[in-house]
A and B are shown apart, each in its own frame.
Chain A
């Protein structure tokens, strides 16, 4: 990423061009787990956005002080600290949601996307671009989760964010783990198709970490 990229482009990149979930196929693990409802997906996304942005900011501020030989452990340590912060905040203010997905919040520390952004971007760029990059990627992640959440909650419970909409009996399978995998696969395949059909792209990577 060049240093001359405008902030707006950077921001959009996190949402569309290099969307962590659908394009880079990174950090899928807990992402799929919490999308049984739009609200859960949203809160998880916000947690990730917070950690990503704060980690990027911290790494960027400290980039001239961290010895290159220990940079990966330092980044992991920084990420772990911010995850602890959001973990404590969430358990205090959103107790009921936290009970369901507490484990996945704590596992944010292992997200490959955070480490790779810190390594590839924040360690080489100034404060403001790093901040924007973190926010962009975090938002991209949140939107992806909410999209999955809408898909699953609507079909699985007939509601959106807890408000019942569909009068018909829902497909229970969608809120179970199976539904999560199906939703993810179908969503990715669909987005690949859109990408190829309208944007002439080649589809998402097939390796995924």
Chain B
């Protein structure tokens, strides 16, 4: 069982990396990678939120939605949970850890309206993962995303000094760059046969 959990963890971090293989989270990916500090901040927030999200939604899925055949409502319910949780986390952080909130608070708001936060609970539901498998997916994807963010941020900081053609400045060249990194990540695909 633990071997399977580990497999899912590595697969979601490297082989099925959310950014480079699944194209998810591009929204925040291009947004926060202009500077290293924002990338790191987002990495922390993201992994933490992802883990809690996955656990919360797993409980709702297993104990409420499956027994009552509410599977078709998963989109509505999961996004509801995400929104509610982020709102709660936002309020709690402000009161309990203001210093932390000051540093990472803005990323919370960004996370809600993006594609990637829904992806993990949806995958968990579709594949009917157990609790530990869901957590493995969440932490693995969080770490994989963090890796992607940090790699991109370090390149983009250097990119500011490069001589990019005018039409390509900003997003287009970032996309091409991401393509090159994705090419490198392809190398991981033979690692584990899932």
How big is the A interface, by class? Answer: 35 or more
Cβ of B75 within 8 Å of any chain A Cβ, yes or no, is yes
Q: Which residue of A lies closest to B176 (CB)?
A: A185
Q: Which residue of A lies closest to B179 (CB)?
A: A181
Cβ of B106 within 8 Å of any chain A Cβ, yes or no, is no
* Residues of B close to A109: CB separation below 8 A: 75, 79, 118
Which of A25, A30, A173 meets B171, CB within 8 Å?
A: A25
B-binding segment of A80-88, A124-132, A163-171: A80-88
Chain B, 162-192, CB within 8 A of any chain A CB: 165-180, 182-183, 186
Cβ of A95 within 8 Å of any chain B Cβ, yes or no, is no
B-binding segment of A59-67, A133-141, A189-197: A189-197
Cβ of B115 within 8 Å of any chain A Cβ, yes or no, is yes
* Residues of A close to B79: CB separation below 8 A: 76, 80, 109-110
Cβ of B10 within 8 Å of any chain A Cβ, yes or no, is no
- On whether the beta carbons of A28 and B76 are closer than 8 Å, the reply is no
Cβ of A10 within 8 Å of any chain B Cβ, yes or no, is no
* Residues of B close to A83: CB separation below 8 A: 75
A114 to chain B, nearest CB (A): 10
Chain A, 53-103, CB within 8 A of any chain B CB: 73, 76-77, 80-81, 83-84, 87-88, 102-103
The secondary-structure label for the interface of chain A is: helix
Task: Fill in one digit per residue for B56-84: 1 if any A CB lies within 8 Å of its CB, else 0.
Answer: 00000000000000001111100110010
- On whether the beta carbons of A203 and B72 are closer than 8 Å, the reply is no
Cβ of B147 within 8 Å of any chain A Cβ, yes or no, is no
The secondary-structure label for the interface of chain B is: helix
* Residues of A close to B113: CB separation below 8 A: 110, 112, 115, 209
* Residues of A close to B20: CB separation below 8 A: 177
Assembled-state Cα–Cα distance A111/B75 (Å): 13
Cβ of B131 within 8 Å of any chain A Cβ, yes or no, is no
Chain A, 160-209, CB within 8 A of any chain B CB: 173, 176-182, 184-186, 188-190, 192-193, 196, 203-209
Which of A29, A179, A180, A205 meets B115, CB within 8 Å?
A: A29
- How many chain B residues touch A (CB < 8 A): the figure is 47
Which of B122, B166, B172 meets A106, CB within 8 Å?
A: B122
A203 to chain B, nearest CB (A): 6
* Residues of A close to B174: CB separation below 8 A: 185
Q: Which residue of A lies closest to B178 (CB)?
A: A181
Cβ of B92 within 8 Å of any chain A Cβ, yes or no, is no
* Residues of A close to B24: CB separation below 8 A: 29-30, 33, 107
- On whether the beta carbons of B167 and A178 are closer than 8 Å, the reply is no
- On whether the beta carbons of A110 and B114 are closer than 8 Å, the reply is yes
Max chain A C-beta neighbours (<10 A), residue from B21, B175, B182 = B175
- On whether the beta carbons of A182 and B175 are closer than 8 Å, the reply is yes
- On whether the beta carbons of A188 and B171 are closer than 8 Å, the reply is yes
Cβ of A32 within 8 Å of any chain B Cβ, yes or no, is yes
* Residues of B close to A180: CB separation below 8 A: 23, 179
Q: Which residue of B lies closest to A209 (CB)?
A: B27
* Residues of A close to B21: CB separation below 8 A: 177
Binding site for B on A (CB under 8 A): 25, 27-30, 32-33, 73, 76-77, 80-81, 83-84, 87-88, 102-103, 106-107, 109-112, 115, 173, 176-182, 184-186, 188-190, 192-193, 196, 203-209
Q: 3 closest Cβ contacts across the A-B interface? A: A206-B170, A185-B175, A181-B179
